[in-house]
Amino acid sequence: MPGAPMDDRAIGIFDSGLGGLTVSRAILELLPNERIFYFGDTARLPYGSKSPETVLRFSEENVRFLLGKDVKCIVIACNTATAIALPQLAKQFPIPFLGVIEAGAERAASCTKNGRIGVIGTERTIASGAYSAALRARNPNLSVIEKACPLLVPLIEEGWVAHEAARLVVREYLDPLEAAGIDTLILGCTHYPLLAERIRACYPQITLVDSAFSSARALSLMLRERRLESGGSADGRMEAGLRRGAITVWVSDYSATFHKMAEGILQSSLDGVIFSMDAEMNG
């Protein structure tokens, strides 16, 4: 009996910046035969303070860029873009899409013991009500307390994860959620897992949920159902375990800070695989 068809094209992933690399790492760990083409729209972040119309326009442009790379599916590794743009993108483009909200909501609903779940995210993600809707669709009796945290993404993009300022901002945002009695907290932005250690140190009794590994599992299922799994055509290995060629990263505005933090997230050298979109398009 012949083997199942394989599709060695890359998985496309986009985010407003580097946060979606947390999702990329989880995917590469779970699906080591896959390749990722990642686009970080660093010139226009953060998305969370933009209008829905602007978020949709940026997302459409990101999708077109990735489609130009002949990707086989697209993961929207941005909670804001998932909440605002996913339904329209799925209608507009003939390619499978996966967002990050449903997976995170599923895990949080299964983790909570007291039914009180906190959600932190960008202003636009929280205003959309997407997490509340996803959680209550699973259990209408859940109590959901949401909080917009607009300062967290800039702190992370500046590399201030271990800075005392990050601790103070985290306490300012999350103390009211702790006082409300939450036992589970959804990190509703793919940047926020980079602050998970800081948050756990402040609130060790709260279970943290990020959508990276849940989304990777959902992607694995989608690839299998659609017969899009890769046969693993790339070869060689990088020193920290990522297969050579496993990920290529494009950004709309390159910075040394992004490069350094990306290597920290992926735990691997990225020399030679980060490109400026403008330089590529104009070169």
What order of strands is seen across the sheet that includes strand 97-98?
97-98, 73-76, 11-15, 36-40, 247-251, 274-276
Q: Which amino acid is at 14?
A: F
Q: How many CA atoms lie within 13 A of 186 on its CB side?
A: 38
Selecting among 73, 111, 149, 189, the annotated active-site residue is: 189
* 131 within 8 A of 144, measured Cβ to Cβ: yes
Collapsed DSSP state (helix, strand, coil) of residue 248:
strand
Which residues are 121's β-sheet partners? 148, 188
* Cα Rg of the chain (Å, integer): 18
Q: Residue 189 catalytic?
A: yes
Residue in the block written with tokens 């906190």: 118
Collapsed DSSP state (helix, strand, coil) of residue 54:
helix
> CA–CA separation, 195 vs 184, rounded Å?
16
Selecting among 78, 111, 149, 202, the annotated active-site residue is: 78
Q: Residue 78 catalytic?
A: yes
Report the catalytic residues: 78, 189
